[in-house]
């Protein structure tokens, strides 16, 4: 199988939007590349006394609209191109929900599943020491992402504050609540996706009560999507998968039991009352809502024609390739594109920054209300353009966000 370069895909998606918007060549070229990137080596002493050298990255894609913002991924296959692509998507994501931030992303090539808590803490602190010059509440604010937790964020914040010698809780978001984290951050990515799924169902005339959902990827976003999809929309979970494979029961599964089982055992296989199913088979189930919630490039030109869901709500970043997008559009699958569908996470991270800045914290219902408002407005802005321009929802979302970033670059006199 050919390896798809996520950054080339991100550039292709931008190129199409730039052409449709009639962007001048200088603005187009500026938006095709990160404004700043840093690649670092991080020597860490492991528990056995040996030193291992890790490779880390931080990319600030565009900061015309505000400080860069974006998660930190710890993954064995992390590369600079993955981080570039994710930083680009973060730029469009903050613009599409209209929050005053730019886009950034970071990562470390490592396997946290094979590391102890003390090794993770050393790596978290080592990473911050290596990239601290790029970070501050007015420059770049990291957040959690794949395999990084509130605890890891807490260590990073503490290391940054140790380096600068004063409190700066807003420099890292996704922190534990006692250290200035926001209520509602834990399920924000999924909750934002559920809000836009609700709005999509309204415009499509679909009543979601007792309809089916399948979830590919059962980490933080996938688990919360299962719980909230059931609780807020009345959806029935019929299939779910993780990196090892999945489980399926056409009659539906108890969502809380499935989440508890995964948290308790670390896997899905063996869940009582369900048969096993592959990730590939799960994607092709005839369900009302599919939540691709794993990694990039899972829906490609080779399997897009077999996808039968009515709505695909992309909680993962970059799960669908451009060729697959066209096939889904032709086949009438309504795609809620990643940088709209999963923007709930960065939106509540932004709320966390705001609360940190004026040192006053909102109750949970206030966070939910403001998130709902932001996501609903963003969905309808994109949907109106989708109808008007007769393009895919992803292209419509690009038109909204690229126009906003281009305008900020022009107002600054950069182009």
Phi/psi-derived region of residue 64, left when phi > 0, alpha when psi is between -120 and 50, beta in every other case: alpha
Closest CA to 147 of 225, 83, 243, 72: 72
Residue of 8, 36, 50, 105 with catalytic role: 105
Residue burial 261-298, b: 16+ Cβ < 10 Å; e: rest: bbeeeeebeebeebeebebebbbbbebbbbbbbbbbbb
Residue burial 37-72, b: 16+ Cβ < 10 Å; e: rest: beebebebeeeeeeeeebebbbbbbbbbbbbbbbbb
Q: How far apart are CA 306 and CA 8, in angstroms?
A: 25
Instruction: Find out whether 333 and 284 touch, Cβ atoms under 8 Å.
Output: no
Structure tokens at 346: 């960065």
Q: Is 109 exposed, middle or buried (0-12, 13-18, 19+ CB in 10 A)?
A: middle
Annotation says 374 is catalytic: no
Residues identified as active-site: 105
């Amino acid at each position: 199988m050919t390896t798809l370069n996520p950054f080339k895909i991100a550039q292709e998606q931008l190129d199409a939007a730039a052409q449709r918007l009639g962007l001048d060549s200088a603005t187009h070229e500026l938006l095709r590349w990160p404004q700043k990137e840093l690649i670092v080596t991080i020597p860490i002493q492991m528990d056995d006394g040996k030193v291992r050298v890790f490779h880390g990255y931080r990319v600030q894609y565009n900061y015309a609209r505000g400080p860069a913002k974006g998660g930190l991924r710890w993954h064995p296959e992390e590369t600079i191109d993955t981080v570039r692509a994710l930083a680009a998507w973060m730029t469009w994501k903050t613009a599409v929900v209209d929050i005053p931030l730019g886009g950034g992303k970071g990562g470390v090539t490592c396997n946290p599943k094979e590391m102890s808590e003390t090794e993770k803490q050393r790596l978290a602190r080592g990473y911050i020491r290596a990239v601290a010059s790029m970070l501050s509440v007015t420059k770049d604010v990291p957040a959690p992402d794949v395999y990084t937790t509130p605890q890891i964020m807490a260590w990073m914040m503490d290391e940054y504050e140790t380096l600068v010698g004063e409190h700066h809780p807003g420099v890292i978001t996704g922190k534990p609540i006692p250290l200035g984290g926001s209520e509602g951050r834990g399920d924000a990515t999924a909750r934002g996706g559920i809000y836009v799924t609700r709005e999509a169902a309204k415009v499509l005339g679909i009543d979601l009560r007792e309809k089916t959902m399948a979830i590919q990827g059962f980490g933080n976003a996938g688990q919360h999507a299962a719980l909230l999809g059931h609780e807020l929309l009345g959806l029935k979970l019929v299939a779910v998968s993780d990196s090892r494979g999945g489980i399926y029961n056409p009659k539906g599964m108890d969502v809380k039991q499935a989440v508890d089982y995964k948290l308790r055992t670390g896997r899905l296989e063996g869940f009582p009352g369900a048969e096993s199913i592959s990730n590939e088979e799960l994607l092709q189930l005839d369900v009302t809502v599919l939540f691709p919630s794993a990694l990039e490039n899972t829906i490609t030109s080779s399997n897009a024609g077999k996808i039968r869901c009515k709505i695909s709500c992309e909680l993962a970043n970059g799960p669908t390739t451009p060729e697959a997008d066209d096939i889904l559009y032709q086949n009438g699958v309504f795609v809620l594109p990643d940088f709209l569908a999963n923007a709930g996470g960065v939106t509540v991270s932004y709320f966390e920054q705001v609360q940190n800045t004026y040192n006053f914290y909102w109750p949970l219902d206030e966070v939910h209300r403001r998130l709902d408002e932001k996501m609903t407005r963003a969905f309808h802005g994109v949907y109106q353009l989708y109808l008007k321009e007769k393009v895919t929802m992803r292209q419509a979302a690009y038109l909204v966000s690229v126009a906003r970033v281009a305008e900020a670059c022009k107002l600054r006199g950069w182009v």
